[in-house]
Amino acid sequence: MATSEWAGPEVYGDGAVPCVRRIRGLLDSGLTTENIRVILPFLSDPGEIHLHLGTLRP
């Protein structure tokens, strides 16, 4: 039987909080996680989206 030890709290980089907020906002707006996975690389900051509409599928 395998055992695991608690290694302490997760440590995330400085960019993690804005990224999580962005994803949470996209989910709240009704996008699916699959759509978010596709468009996330095109988001440079919360105010800019560099996306070609043909990238998304219904």
Question: What is the tens place of the pLDDT at every residue in 32-55?
Answer: 999 999 888 877 665 666 656 666
| pLDDT at res. 41 | 81
Q: Is residue 32 part of a domain?
A: yes
7 domain residue, yes or no? no
- Give long-range contacts, CB 8 A cutoff, 24+ apart: 26-33: none
Is 33 within the bounds of a domain? yes
Q: 15 phi and psi, to 5 degrees?
A: -85, -5
Instruction: List the one residue out of 56, 44, 49 whose CA is nearest residue 19.
Output: 44
Does residue 50 fall inside a structural domain?
Answer: yes
Domains contained in the chain, number: 1
How high is the pLDDT of residue 32? 95
Can you give the residue range of the structural domain that contains 51? 16-55
Share above pLDDT 70 across residues of the chain, in percent, rounded to a whole number? 69
Residue 27: pLDDT above 70? yes
Q: Residues with Cβ < 8 Å from 27, sequence gap 6 or more?
A: 33, 36
Residue 29 lies in a domain: yes
Please answer whether residues 46 and 29 qualify as being in contact, where contact means their C-beta atoms are separated by less than 8 angstroms. no
Residue 39 in any domain: the answer is yes
Mean pLDDT of the residues in the chain: 80
